[in-house]
Structure 1
Amino acid sequence: MMAKDGLSSLPALAALSMKKNSLNGSLPDSLGSFTNLRVLVLSHNHFSGEVPDLSSLANLQVLDLEDNSLGPQFPLVGRKVVTLVLRKNKFRSGIPDRVGSYYQLEQLDISFNRFVGPFPPFLFSMPSITYLNIEGNRFTGMLFENFPCGAYLEFADLSANLLTGALPSCLRSDSKSRVVLFSGNCLATGDKSQHPISFCHNEALAVGILPHRRKPKEVSKAFHDLSIIGGIIGGIIGGIVLVGLTFMVVRTSRAKKMVKTPPTRSISENAATGYTSKLLSDARYVTQAMKLGALGLPGYRPFSLEELEEATNNFDTSYFMGEGSHGQMYRGQLKDGSFIAIRCLKMKRNHSTQSFMHHIELISKLRHHHLVSALGHCLECYLDDSSVSRIFLVFEYVPNGTLRNWVSVGHDRRTLTWTQRIAAAIGVAKGIQFLHTGIVPGVFSNNLKITEVLLDQNLVAKLSSYNLPLLAEDMGKVGIQRSPGAKELSNARIKHQDKFDIYDFGVILLEIIVGRPFNSMNEAGAVKKQLQASITADSAARKSFVDPAVLNAYSDESLKITMEICSRCLVKDPADRPSIEDVLWNLQFAAQIQDAWRGDSQSSDGSPISPFQPPRLQLTVQQNQHSGI
């Protein structure tokens, strides 16, 4: 039995996992009172009976009831649910229309239950759905080729049901990113995995789910009435006529019912309406969510620990990528073949799960072309008190290593050209700009390092370092902290907190220019003096300063502008450093100069060339240099 009284003493409970025990009996109604509950995992037990009403749990994102004896009614949950697993239970009702309004639902697994009735095709086209499994039920209904699919649907298992018609064309795509299983139905696919259509009709009849069947008593009563009527009119012919008329009326009535359009459209519209209201209530979140397709990334979702263990062969050492202040890093491969990076953070016992979720929600919103974007998370909890023991953050895997590996001497000399280096610098600057202005409040003082700038398969630069308390150094030992260095910021200097990232960017840009690593501030400071002298000297002095790997492949004017920006970023007083917008403006101009020098028709970021437009900071740089700054 579940300890009902014990649960009532945990009103702030956010994650509850009791999987793989021998608990039995019914679920307590008190589960519906834990308003902070986000994760409820009761899988692989012996619970039975109805699932209590959980619709009041507005924050519930994960409900996993796999392998119990619960049912028969579909559970009531809130509209923010992301993962809903009802696999291997005794649910035998239909899918309620309200499921169409679960606009954040990504994983729905109702396989191996006793669900009956028409399959609701809106499940294919829900806005966030990635995984859909209805295997081993008794769903009926006819599918059509023009049924739409959601943009993020990656896996659909329709096997072992009573479906007829044609497989939707969106499920017959040859795309390797979408897996579709549909054997054991009566679909017109032309392969041997399907039953003849009579099988589905007979099976549906056997379980009593064909609509509009008359009960035997009603049928006998109808014939009795007909015989009386036939006797009254005094003849067999009259009876036959009336029977014929009755048959025609019944047939017409049934035909009208059959041609009624199924409620797919209205359900889809309701779902869209719910999604729109979410957009209006949380515009910053939606602004980024709308960009997911452009980034080519799947939507953010919770992962199960089993899924991550499978992706890493139980976190085998061969998958280990390294360990730093941001936890252990592993590389993994999901079932669909895509690679991921997993960051494992060990938590101090009895940390507030609510604070974790706040920061996880923020991480989920950091989606940008020049950020290493998070794909999801997994919480591992202690079984005795349900406090979080480890957090696994799942990120996109960026395959080409760090920017330092591509520009600095002493590393793998797969060096970048000058054009590629400016493009990488622009990418880093755009990532910083998004952290500062793309979300509210902005993310500042990110302790940026060139070793945490990664390059993807197209050599696009992506920042992997964010100043979020969840990722702060030593968080697992002392709990939620501010970022390194943040405690030293006086109240008078808080207004310049965005300029600390500008200084770090200047150090990164300096290494991009000279092509050798800087492992200390003193080392970078000494080179800064050489940089300033080279700017005011002739082109030969700049040629001796820049990385020899890019000699004779750059415009001197482009190099000079880049060096001037770098010098301004490294100014000692934060107030005198340029804004990130000014940095971007000048870098893009330097890229345009370089592309014009190479004879290209477009700049490295695709914007038109305007070589006669003076850079915004050039005069300011010269004035400050003359004043000795």
Structure 2
Amino acid sequence: MPSSARLMVLALGVVAVLLARSPEEVDGASGRGNATCPLDLSYVPTFPWDSDLCAGGAARNMTGCCMTLLSVLAIGLAGQVRATGHFRIPSAAASAACLDDFGKRLSSPPLSLPGASLVPTCFPSPEQFVASPNFCAGVTTAAEYRSVVGNASVAALDSACGGDLSSLPLCSRCLDAGIAATSRLKAAANISSNASTDDAATGNCFYLTVTYAAGISNAAGPTSPPTAGCTLGLALASPHAAPPPSKSHTTAILATAIPTAFLVLASLLAFLIWRRRDKKKKKKKKTHEISKEGSTERRSHPRPNTGSILFDIAELTKATGGFADGNLVGRGGFGAVYRGVLADGSVVAVKKMLDPDVEGGDEEFTNEVEIISHLRHRNLVPLRGCCIVDDDVEEGKQKFLVYDYMPNGALEDFIFSKRPAPALTWSQRRNIIMDVARGLEYLHYGVKPAIYHRDIKATNILLDADMRARVADFGLARRSREGQSHLTTRVAGTHGYLAPEYALYGQLTEKSDVYSFGVLVLEVMSGRRVLDMSAPASGPVLITDWAWTLVKAGQTREILDEALATEESPRVGGGRGAMERFVLVGILCAHVMVALRPTITEAVKMLEGDMDVPELPDRPLPYGHNVLFSEAGSNFSASPVFSGPFMDNGDMLR
């Protein structure tokens, strides 16, 4: 993902976390009582923020209005960090006082907004802004933040985010430093580096970093429009005059355009979180419908019309030796996987899901059962069945998925392994990439309606006894809507693998999977992770940016893993030329523009050599050009039009 698309990540963390906390998470908060607001909100009526979405008797776009108000309020929260060194608000009473003050300032001239109705609608629970030692790594103050993140990372953040953030490159540099600092927080909080974008704990840590960057790192502070636009994702008011754009106006335009694009995704995210209680009830009801199938018979038996088995927990317990640690083969954000041997002698992998009360747990379980039960393809991991236990005295409801066992584990263990094992050969890498491509081709075109996996990455590609790849983990998969792109309110997946149009706008299509596949191809061919954190001085580097730079410099072979570059039999599978072709296809699949990516079928033909790889189209310039793209068959063409001072992020949807 290029810097123009990645700019939104820091801002997304602020708003997502501000909304994420429900009253249940702060039951111990103090009562409201008589308290004063610790935030200085005097900037609200004078700051140049775009209030159009909240204007009128009833907001035209309530979700967009609420997201804007959250960003405006975040300026005050960052200002508090700057003044006192404390993140968030100390008590529910103080938070209520702040919201009351906020509403009055919105109602006063020159804004004259219906603050008395907007604030309770957008912020029904003052507790969501209250400080908590469990927020992220126990960090509640700026001093604790510096201690956890470390002097080097804090210095890099201060340097990158300290100046004027009105230009896209400078804001991107600040983002890179923020990602590096957040990775230190996540490590301290024991959050996996592969945590998905909608993971609440990840959002908490992003919140701390962007608040610190806006409040302390930046010299101008959060009340500076460019600072608020870059770090807090605030949509700024558009200029009333419209003279021909000049260099002096570029910074102001950029400060407006970047947060505006962010607002679209943020609005969708807000709507999801507000409705999550109702959705959680629906998820539980959906899982209960599956569990009823096993309520009349305890023994394992086939599930009607699915081709899968409803297993008895006693059989799975026996197969895994009581879920013994010796049979544990993997653990992740979904739960744990155990190796087991069924009574008929077949070897299976039993995935024990996380506590069903975890947000999204029920939905991902029922989703995976319903989708995979009907899929049969040699490049997909077969689902044997499932098991639901409602009456466990100690653990409550438990859920299990049973798959065919893949003896060679995950692809990640081979391309990034620290263990002393032979590196993958070119022939093996070629087969793995083709297997994944054909598995995706089946999902996109072999079933109706098509299925979008949404989480293609090295940990979700498993290898059988012959080192052939199988696509696994369909917990996030979604069925397509025939003839439509899918606009989702829950952006799910893993940082670095997400297509820009999906991460920013929630637009899900088959080419969202193609983007993730392109990133995976580059990882397999280079042996390099999607995000390289090994060079703290220069900040984290995305594999797509790194590979693109080398190809444009005529150094495609430098991308190849050292084991490939020194392989004794380069002619196997087409030799060096084929290796470079695979790299070019990976870059093309991971292009920022949707229209310039091939379909997975076209990618398969290119990889096999049955279709020429087109000349790699240029990436859109961060500013100075407005690039319009068109797609006609397999012609991946781009035509620059010099009609604006910045790239329209909406073009990523075309």
Q: Which TM-score applies when normalising by structure 2?
A: 0.42
Q: Considering Cα pairs closer than 8 Å and 6+ residues apart, tell me whether 1 or 2 has the greater RCO.
A: 2
Which one has the bigger helix percentage? 2
Task: Tell me which structure has the larger Cα radius of gyration.
Answer: 1
